[in-house]
Structure 1
Amino acid sequence: MQVKTERQVALVTGGSAGLGLELVRTLATEGWTVVTDGRDRTRLTAAAERDNVVPVPGDVTDSEHRLALAAVVHDLGRLDLLVHNASTLGRSPLPPLRDVGIDDLRKVWRANLGAPLVLTGALLPQLIESRGILLSISSDAAIEHYEGWGLYGASKAGLDHVTLTFGAENPEITAYAVDPGDMRTQMHQDAFPGEDISDRPLPATVVPHLMALLEQRPASGRYRAHDFATPDAAVSAGATPK
């Protein structure tokens, strides 16, 4: 039975670790009801420590799991924010494109492009009704060309295109592809096996910029998270925060 909540509702994929986890926690603290998923049931359950976080264990590339996510959103009666955060790097160490095979392509593109594409389509009516926001976590590899990052970067370039096309086709929503910058996450560590990545900022430092983006709500487009100043940054620069 559908019972429409008065709270704003967000669905954040990949919310059991890294940037997804920090974003889920922040949204929940700000009073949102947050639906989130992850493949590791134990870690996801531990991450969903607030009453207004709804964990749905599973792999976003699985069609039955996507149906389960859509069912939870339907029961809540609204969707104000859809965040495509879950993704995969592919093989580690990162292979050059000459060594990439169809199995590599299938794995990376199903997670990074296919799943967001079909999940957005399934949830589009709710997002349109709320005049909500579609936010896809991108990468600088989508527009730059780094050795070993070709397959991942191509998948993120595709995600950017799909996300912003949804926005162009549905002017009732606002669509963003956002580059969060380098972060100290397990996925980034997997990209540099054996290297010290402790100089990268923690995901928690990126979330305030994403929240500033949501608050300012500029036109649909591709942005860098750090293009959006946080209130603390505005104060330090001598500006008056909104």
Structure 2
Amino acid sequence: MPNAIITGASRGLGLALARALAADGWRLTLDARTAADLERAARELGRLTEVVALPGDVADAAHRRALVAAAGKDINLLVNNASVLGPSPQPALAEYPLDVLERVYRVNVLAPLGLIQTALPRLRLGAAIVNVTSDAAVEDYPGWGGYGSSKAALDQLTATLAAEHPGLRFYAVDPGDMRTRMHQEAFPDQDISDRPLPEAIVPGLLELLRQPHPSGRYRVPHPAEVGA
């Protein structure tokens, strides 16, 4: 039975991916900050496969160690999906509270690296590590300097880890805009109902995982781009 850890798995892309993997018979170790939401997801997914759900904060080293211990040996997939946006609406960098920015970096950069460091001894040869990134990592959108720079740092960490561990697959994956709570928080006054649901993005992500694509940065095509 293939074995995966997914952070931020109680909603959005994390839950959509967990549902797809559960249907394929993967064993899942899931994390989220809100215990009630995570327990609800675990009950649903537990009808299909073996699920361990641990609520907590990925910025907490003890929680990361618990996730890896719960996953056991021979981990095939680690998905660093948990993330924080920062203030909403996004402030200009000149006005960005540094204590808040420090929290964004702890969750979006240091926590994924810390989880990878902890999981490395248990990752199978050829295992995939997916770090969910954003187009804000490569585009200079006004007001997105905090979140975007954290994702740019995550991109660089992903590329460096790939060079240091050629026996593993390291992917920085940009899923594009989606109809999620975080995306709505980023644009509190906009109607985002035209964005695709995370479930529509999952097939492109699964294609990346199922085929032996080389390590690198990938943008998942949206349904409209592939004629769906």
In which range does the TM-score fall when normalised by the shorter chain?
over 0.9
Unaligned runs of 5+ in 1: 1-6, 238-242
Offset at residue 102 of structure 1 (A): 1.8
Q: Which of 34, 40, 44 is equivalent to 2:34?
A: 40
Q: Which of 181, 198, 204 is equivalent to 1:203?
A: 198
Offset at residue 101 of structure 1 (A): 2.6
Q: Do the aligned partners of 1:139 and 1:181 also contact (CA within 8 Å) in 2?
A: yes
Query: Cα RMSD (Å) of the superposition?
Result: 1.9
Q: Do the aligned partners of 1:13 and 1:37 also contact (CA within 8 Å) in 2?
A: yes
1:151 paired to 2:146: yes
State the 4+ residue runs in structure 1 displaced beyond 2 angstroms: none
2:188 counterpart SS class:
coil
**Residue matched to 2:16:** 22
Residue deviations 1:104-150 (CA, integer Å, cap 9, x gap): 221100010010011101101111x3320111111000000111111
**Residue matched to 2:71:** 73
The 2-side partners of 1:152 and 1:50 are apart by 31
1:206 counterpart SS class:
helix
**TM-score, normalized by length of structure 1?**
0.88
The 2-side partners of 1:63 and 1:161 are apart by 22
Aligned residues between the structures: 224
Q: Do the aligned partners of 2:31 and 2:55 also contact (CA within 8 Å) in 1?
A: yes
1:130 counterpart SS class:
strand
Query: For 1:150-169, what aligned pairs fall within 5 Å after superposition?
Result: 150-169=145-164
The 1-side partners of 2:222 and 2:178 are apart by 16
The 2-side partners of 1:227 and 1:200 are apart by 9
Amino acid at match of 2:109: L
Offset at residue 210 of structure 1 (A): 0.3
Q: Do the aligned partners of 2:176 and 2:222 also contact (CA within 8 Å) in 1?
A: no
Offset at residue 98 of structure 1 (A): 0.4
Amino acid at match of 2:58: V
Unaligned runs of 5+ in 2: none
Offset at residue 217 of structure 1 (A): 2.4
1:109 paired to 2:105: yes
**Residue matched to 2:81:** 85
- Largest Rg, 1 or 2: 1
Q: Which of 192, 198, 218 is equivalent to 2:187?
A: 192
The 2-side partners of 1:17 and 1:164 are apart by 27
1:132 counterpart SS class:
strand
Offset at residue 227 of structure 1 (A): 8.5
1:131 paired to 2:126: yes
**Residue matched to 1:240:** none
Residue deviations 1:146-189 (CA, integer Å, cap 9, x gap): 11111100000100111121111011101110110100101000
Q: Do the aligned partners of 2:201 and 2:222 also contact (CA within 8 Å) in 1?
A: no
Q: What is the aligned-residue identity percentage?
A: 51
Amino acid at match of 1:18: G
Amino acid at match of 2:78: L
The 2-side partners of 1:50 and 1:200 are apart by 25
**TM-score, normalized by length of structure 2?**
0.94
Offset at residue 194 of structure 1 (A): 2.3
2:221 counterpart SS class:
helix
**Residue matched to 2:177:** 182
Amino acid at match of 1:63: A
